[in-house]
Structure formats: C-alpha cells, structure tokens
C-alpha cells in the first residue's frame, strides 16, 4: 500500500519562518542603527557640553587631573563677569554687525552674478564661467599674501571694509544660486517680459522672491564664515576696538591664560549666536539639503 506525504502544511511553515527571520534582522538593524546614532550624537555634543560646564569651573578645575566633568562648586560669576566686560560686549556687537553686513553684501553680489550666468547671454560667457569655477579649487591660504598686498595698497588695513569686501564674491555661492536659478521655468521670465519688465525688474520682482531656499543656506554659510574668521583678521586688524570675536578670544587666552573658566564662558557666549541661528533656520536647511539630494 503506497503512502502519500503531503507538503501543503510545510510550505506555510517555511514562509512564516522566513518572515520571522526577516523581522528579527530588521529589528536588529534598527536597534544597531539607533545605538550608532546615539553614540554619534553624544560624541558630537560632548565638546559643546564640556565647554558649557567648564564655564562654571574655577581657574584650576578646567584642566584638573584626573578629569572631572562637573565642577565641585558651580561658579556662576564667570558668565556674569564676561557679560559685564565692555570690551567683550563691544566685540560681540562689532562682529555681529560685520557678519550681517558681509552676509547681505555676499548675497547681493553673488545672486547678481548667478542670475547673469544663468539667464543672460553675453560674449565670453563660457570662458568667464570656467574662470569663476576654477577659483573654487584654489586654496585660500595660497593667495593670502597677495590679498594682503592688494588691501595694503588700497589703504584698507584696520578697517571694516577689509573684513567685508575681499571675501564677498564666492565662486561656490555663485554656483549654488545659479543652479537654483536654472531650475526656475523660463515661461515665468517670458511672461514678465511680455508685461514690460526689464532684466533688472525681472531679477528683483521674480527671482529674488523665489530665492529664499538658496539664500537661507548661503546666508548662514556667509555668516558663519565671517563669525569664525581668524587668520585674515589677525593679518589685517591691529586696533583692539576693531577685533572680531575670534581675535578677542585668542588675545584673552594669551593675556589671561590662567582664567580658563572665564575663557570657556566667553567661548560659550561667542558660540551662542551661531547655535541660535541654526535652531531658527534648521527646517529650511534640512529641507534644502533634501531638495539638493533629490535633484
């Protein structure tokens, strides 16, 4: 008598087993990804957290061995003392004003150049565009000496102009804004021309209102570049009243090397505007990064 073995019940069991394996692998991957993200976040935030806490330490506790993260006694006087320092407040205000002026000038100059390369037709356009793009690959340190000679002959040393004007034009910023302008439909521009708008009116009334996404990213980039500048101000600014914040902190470090807790408090307050700026525009920054990735 023949015996017939049925495999109908075995197949669902195998499928269910594979599903359980896939679910187990997915959960393992998700947990590993979460752990890696937490470790990366802690590693990224640890220096900032240590700097904030170090602002509450005494002179000897900052570099105390063995390492101690939290102070024995929280010294709030460090932040109060640095905030009551008129030189520090003047430097912060001077740097902030210069950063705003530099950002506005950079966006103005580079957006105009980007519109010209994106929409206008003129002689030697391709040649000039190649020259502009080539400057992106020239390290800034290689032209530092020649730039210093130029601003010296122009009598720009020890002025706000020497901090704002030389770095306003940026090939990277022109390229970024130009790519955005190329994505704007030409039909909008043609409709504006039919309404009697000239090139400048089209740029001001049509392109500028649509330029918020690239302007946010490039504006923050320009602001950070000015706020964190150190080498160029050291070369061109000698009057203490015109020091930018990085110069002030470097001078403070050399002249008052024992007051590290006070220095950490000043560093935290110097970093605060940058952090606040990022928190305000973080949605726009992340959204623009996603758009750039999709393109």
pLDDT tens string 9-42: 555 555 565 655 566 677 777 788 888 889 888 8
- pLDDT band with cut points at 50, 70 and 90 for residue 78: confident
Q: Does the structure show a pLDDT above 60 at 291? A: no
Q: Where are the domains of the chain?
A: 86-255
So what's the pLDDT on residue 151?
Answer: 94
Least confident of 18-27, 49-58, 193-202: 18-27
User: Rounded to two decimals, what is the model's pTM?
Assistant: 0.82
Residue 154 has pLDDT above 90, yes or no: yes
Stretch 155-180: mean pLDDT: 92
Q: Could you tell me the pLDDT band of residue 47, with boundaries at 50, 70 and 90? A: confident
Cβ within 8 Å of residue 107, ≥6 positions away? 173, 215, 218, 219, 222
- CATH dotted code for 86-255: 1.10.3720.10
Ranges of H-type helices in the chain = 10-54, 77-83, 86-119, 125-134, 144-153, 160-164, 171-182, 186-194, 199-202, 212-227, 231-236, 245-255, 260-294
Mean of pLDDT over the chain: 84
Best CA proximity match to 91, nearest among 273, 213, 276, 278: 273
Residues 234-240 have a mean pLDDT of 92
CA distances to 169, 179, 182 from 125, in Å: 18, 16, 15
pLDDT of residue 294: 43
Reduced to 3 states (helix: H, G, I; strand: E, B; else coil), residue 196 is coil
Torsion over CA of 72, 258, 225 and 101, rounded to 10 degrees?
A: 100
Q: Are 105 and 168 a contacting pair, CB within 8 Å?
A: yes
């Amino acid at each position: 008598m023949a015996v017939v073995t049925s495999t109908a019940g075995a197949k669902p069991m195998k499928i269910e087993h594979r599903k359980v394996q896939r679910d187990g692998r997915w959960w393992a991957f998700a947990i590993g990804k979460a752990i890696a993200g937490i470790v990366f976040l802690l590693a990224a935030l640890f220096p900032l957290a240590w700097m904030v806490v170090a602002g509450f330490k005494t002179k000897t506790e900052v570099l105390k061995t063995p390492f101690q993260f939290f102070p024995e006694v929280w010294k709030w006087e460090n932040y109060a003392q640095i905030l009551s320092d008129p030189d520090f407040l003047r430097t912060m205000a001077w740097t902030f004003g210069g950063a705003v002026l530099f950002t506005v000038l950079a966006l103005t100059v580079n957006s105009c150049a980007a519109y010209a390369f994106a929409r206008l037709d003129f002689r030697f356009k391709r040649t000039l565009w190649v020259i502009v793009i080539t400057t992106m690959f020239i390290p800034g340190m290689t032209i530092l000496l020649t730039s210093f000679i130029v601003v010296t002959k122009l009598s720009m040393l020890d002025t706000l102009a020497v901090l704002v004007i030389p770095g306003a034009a940026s090939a990277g910023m022109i390229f970024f804004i130009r790519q955005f302008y190329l994505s704007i439909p030409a039909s909008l521009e043609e409709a504006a021309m039919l309404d009697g708008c000239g090139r400048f009116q089209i740029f001001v009334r049509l392109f500028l209102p649509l330029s918020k996404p690239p302007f946010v990213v490039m504006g923050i980039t320009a602001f950070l570049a000015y706020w964190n500048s150190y080498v160029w101000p050291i070369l061109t600014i000698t009057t203490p009243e015109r020091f930018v914040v990085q110069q002030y902190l470097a001078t403070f470090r050399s002249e008052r090397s024992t007051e590290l807790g006070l220095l950490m408090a000043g560093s935290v307050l110097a970093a605060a505007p940058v952090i606040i700026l990022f928190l305000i525009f973080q949605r726009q920054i992340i959204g623009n990064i996603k758009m750039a990735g999709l393109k």
